[in-house]
């Protein structure tokens, strides 16, 4: 959680061939320092009351998108359609374009079928329109280019864009940007209609991990998400949002024989497999996720008998490639009957079939068919071969101190989250 919070204002004037955003010095230095580069913005106008803004910013490495919608919602039904989880409460509605003041209404009886109950408009005196009239079909998409440079941001407008902005009587008034650390940019824009005004609020959040996604969207479910462990790294990943409070970033998963885990250094460095199936996230990404030294590890195991167990390590750190992804583990805790088969690998370097960094005169990775923090060599081999007909030779997906056997396991998951989230 970054605490840095910069709010600044720019002025945007529509006129001539471009929109000029006059930047304060603070704004300029913020944009420069943080290495955001705006690439393009798409506006979609859906009827006179809704404006979608999609902006694309480019970092030195990686890129991000802003998607925002300004909806001047006419009534509680529209609010419910737009935000299905809305509860009874006070909302702002725009019964029509001429309504000058914000009308505060209570939206009672939000029903499970998505239809709102009666609306109680307290001062506007305007009756809600029928649904048929509310649903505009007009859809205009156009593009402008936004260049940051010199003393201003210039928005190069296409003729279509200019006429759209003029015809639809939107007038930009001001935009506030809030930069929260290097990864999150909030954009608040204010547009003025001939009568009435609207606000755009959008957030570009490059969320570091599944815990941040969960914090940002508490109702997130288990599934595939994009994370940005650091400014250089963008990864698609599976988030476990349900186990023990959720927020787990899955770095490894084995549940079948579909993906070969006998791989070289480069593959383990970059990651491989399929996010919805078996995969290794990649050592660079795992380093980026754990380099703050504040992550814990959870390992979930299952036998073919369907018996389950899990282990946690109070801390989990994987060093950079320069230090051969050295492993550092905190305190082990396992469910009943599960011993610590990863302790043997603590402080070890990562080894692959083409890179022997182990403590064995031989080559553990080649013998045991896995990229792992081999010592001499393994008590656990979660990247070993996937076998349903176990040979108990340690070359297969296994965790010795669970019954003191090398019997192949049915599944394994390795996942991390920040320690303070326990």
Q: Minimum CB separation from Ca ion for residue 274, in Å?
A: 31
Do you know the residue count of the chain? Answer: 422
Q: 96 vs 356, which CB is nearer to Ca ion?
A: 356
* Euclidean distance between CA atoms 383 and 397, whole angstroms: 6
Q: 250 vs 378, which CB is nearer to Ca ion?
A: 378
* Euclidean distance between CA atoms 327 and 287, whole angstroms: 10
Q: 334 vs 371, which CB is nearer to Ca ion?
A: 371
Q: What angle do CA 264, 252, 361 make, to 5 degrees?
A: 45
* Euclidean distance between CA atoms 30 and 168, whole angstroms: 32
3-class DSSP state for residue 56? strand
- Please state, in angstroms and as integers, the Cα–Cα distance from residue 289 to each residue in 249, 296, 305, 325, following that order: 9, 11, 33, 12
Instruction: Name 381's Cβ contacts closer than 8 Å, sequence gap at least 6.
Output: 368, 370, 372, 394, 395, 396, 397, 398, 399
Instruction: Name 396's Cβ contacts closer than 8 Å, sequence gap at least 6.
Output: 381, 384, 385, 386, 387, 390, 406, 408, 409
Q: Find out whether 62 and 44 touch, Cβ atoms under 8 Å.
A: no
Site string for Ca ion, 176-205 (x = CB under 5 A): ------------------------------
Q: Which of residues 117-156 bind Ca ion (CB under 5 A)?
A: none
Q: Minimum CB separation from Ca ion for residue 363, in Å?
A: 5
* Euclidean distance between CA atoms 169 and 418, whole angstroms: 48
Q: Minimum CB separation from Ca ion for residue 403, in Å?
A: 28
Kindly give the residue spans of alpha helices, DSSP state H, lying in 136-209. 159-167
Count interface residues toward Ca ion (CB under 5 A): 3
Q: Which of residues 60-89 bind Ca ion (CB under 5 A)?
A: none
Q: Find out whether 267 and 390 touch, Cβ atoms under 8 Å.
A: no
Q: Which of residues 375-414 bind Ca ion (CB under 5 A)?
A: none
Q: Minimum CB separation from Ca ion for residue 345, in Å?
A: 14
Q: 133 vs 361, which CB is nearer to Ca ion?
A: 361
Kindly give the residue spans of alpha helices, DSSP state H, lying in 253-319. 265-270, 283-290
Contact flag: residue 368 with Ca ion (CB under 5 A): no
* Euclidean distance between CA atoms 251 and 415, whole angstroms: 5
For tokens 């606000």, name the residue.
199
Sign of CA dihedral 164, 170, 172, 176: negative
Q: Minimum CB separation from Ca ion for residue 280, in Å?
A: 21
Q: 302 vs 366, which CB is nearer to Ca ion?
A: 366
Site string for Ca ion, 339-358 (x = CB under 5 A): -----------------x-x
Q: 119 vs 358, which CB is nearer to Ca ion?
A: 358
Q: 341 vs 351, which CB is nearer to Ca ion?
A: 351
Q: Minimum CB separation from Ca ion for residue 262, in Å?
A: 17
Q: 86 vs 357, which CB is nearer to Ca ion?
A: 357
Q: 327 vs 415, which CB is nearer to Ca ion?
A: 327
Q: 230 vs 358, which CB is nearer to Ca ion?
A: 358
Q: Minimum CB separation from Ca ion for residue 396, in Å?
A: 21
List the one residue from 302, 360, 366, 421 that touches Ca ion (CB under 5 A). Answer: 360
Q: Minimum CB separation from Ca ion for residue 368, in Å?
A: 12
Q: Minimum CB separation from Ca ion for residue 364, in Å?
A: 6
State the CB neighbour count (10 A cutoff) for residue 110: 20
**Residue among 38, 374, 343 nearest 204 (CA):** 38
Instruction: Name 161's Cβ contacts closer than 8 Å, sequence gap at least 6.
Output: 43, 142, 143, 144
Q: Minimum CB separation from Ca ion for residue 358, in Å?
A: 4
Q: Residues in the site for Ca ion, rule: CB under 5 A?
A: 356, 358, 360
């Amino acid at each position: 959680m970054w605490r840095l919070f910069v709010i600044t204002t720019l002025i945007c004037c529509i006129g001539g061939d471009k929109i000029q955003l006059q930047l304060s010095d603070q704004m300029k230095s913020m944009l420069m320092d943080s290495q955001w580069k705006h690439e393009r913005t798409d506006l979609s106008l859906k009827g006179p009351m809704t404006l979608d803004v999609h902006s694309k910013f480019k970092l030195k490495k990686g890129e991000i998108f802003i998607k925002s919608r300004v909806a001047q919602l006419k009534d509680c039904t529209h609010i419910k359609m737009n935000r299905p989880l809305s509860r009874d409460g006070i909302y702002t509605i725009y019964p029509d374009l001429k309504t000058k003041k914000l009308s505060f209404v209570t939206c009672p009886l939000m029903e499970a079928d998505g239809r709102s109950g009666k609306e109680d408009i307290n001062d506007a005196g305007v009756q809600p329109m029928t649904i048929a009239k509310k649903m505009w079909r007009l859809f205009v998409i156009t593009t402008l280019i936004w260049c940051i440079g010199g003393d201003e941001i210039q928005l190069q407008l296409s003729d279509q864009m200019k006429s759209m902005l003029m015809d639809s009587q939107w007038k930009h008034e001001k935009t506030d940007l809030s930069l929260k650390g290097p990864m999150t940019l909030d954009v608040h824009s204010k547009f003025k209609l001939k009568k009435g005004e609207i606000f755009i609020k959008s957030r570009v959040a490059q969320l570091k991990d599944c815990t941040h996604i969960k914090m940002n969207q508490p109702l997130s479910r288990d599934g595939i998400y994009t994370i940005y462990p650091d400014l250089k790294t963008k990864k698609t990943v599976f988030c476990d949002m349900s186990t023990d409070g959720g927020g787990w970033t899955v770095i490894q998963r084995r549940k079948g024989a579909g993906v070969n885990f006998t791989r070289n250094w480069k593959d383990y460095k970059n990651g491989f497999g399929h996010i919805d199936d078996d995969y290794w996230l990649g050592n660079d990404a795992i380093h980026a996720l754990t380099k703050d030294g504040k992550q814990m590890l959870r390992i979930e195991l299952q036998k073919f008998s369907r018996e389950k167990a899990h282990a946690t390590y109070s801390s989990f750190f994987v060093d950079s490639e320069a230090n051969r992804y050295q492993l550092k583990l905190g305190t082990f805790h396992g469910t009943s009957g599960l011993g610590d088969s990863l302790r043997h690998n603590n402080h070890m370097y990562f080894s692959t079939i083409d890179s022997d960094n182990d403590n064995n005169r031989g080559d553990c990775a080649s013998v045991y068919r896995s990229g792992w923090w081999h010592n001499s060599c393994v008590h656990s081999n979660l990247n070993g071969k996937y076998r349903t007909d176990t040979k108990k030779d340690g070359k297969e997906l296994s965790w010795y101190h669970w019954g003191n056997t090398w019997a192949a396991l049915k599944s394994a998951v390795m996942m991390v989250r920040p320690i303070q989230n326990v």
